[in-house]
Amino acid sequence: MAEETIFSKIIRREIPSDIVFQDEKVTAFRDISPQAPTHILIIPNKLIPTINEVTEQDESMLGHMITVAAKIAKQEGIDESGYRLVMNCNKDAGQEVFHLHMHLLGGRNLGRLVG
């Protein structure tokens, strides 16, 4: 079984966090070291260390993470100007907390990354 992370405690509200959305599948909260005016982390309530551990049973939850991101982007007023969704997998990609999470970034021109 995967080791519990700080995100597990945020999900259970055992440590303070600026939670902007929570339901039975996911929790979303503001990053404590924002890289953009809007920087929100969206995490599954189920502990999955990295994308590599995602299973077919997790597909619905992953889709839910994206629809929640779109709802939050609208709430934050960045849906029209644009935003970026980022998921890192393992250390070389910059993953620091080993609880799968998606970064929702926006509120300014983020520049070209890919695409």
Q: What is the dihedral of CA 85, 94, 91, 49, to 10 degrees?
A: -40
Question: Domain containing 52 — which CATH number?
Answer: 3.30.428.10
Instruction: Look at residue 47 and tell me if it is in a domain.
Output: yes
Instruction: Look at residue 113 and tell me if it is in a domain.
Output: no
What b/e readout covers 11-24, taking b as 16+ CB neighbours within 10 angstroms? beeeeebeebeeee
- Predicted local distance difference test score (pLDDT) of residue 1: 55
- Predicted local distance difference test score (pLDDT) of residue 90: 97
Name which residue leads in pLDDT, 18 or 112.
Answer: 18
pLDDT tens digits, one per residue of 32-72: 999 999 999 999 999 999 999 999 999 999 999 999 999 99
Q: How many domains does the chain have?
A: 1
The set of catalytic residues is 101
- In this predicted structure, the answer to whether residue 115 has a pLDDT above a threshold of 70 is no
Mean pLDDT, to the nearest integer, of 1-15?
A: 90
- In this predicted structure, the answer to whether residue 9 has a pLDDT above a threshold of 80 is yes
Mean pLDDT, to the nearest integer, of 59-86?
A: 97
Structure tokens at 8: 């597990």
Instruction: Look at residue 112 and tell me if it is in a domain.
Output: no
Instruction: Look at residue 1 and tell me if it is in a domain.
Output: no
| Residues spanned by the domain of 13 | 6-106
Instruction: Look at residue 114 and tell me if it is in a domain.
Output: no
Helices and strands (H, E) in the chain, number of each type: 2, 5
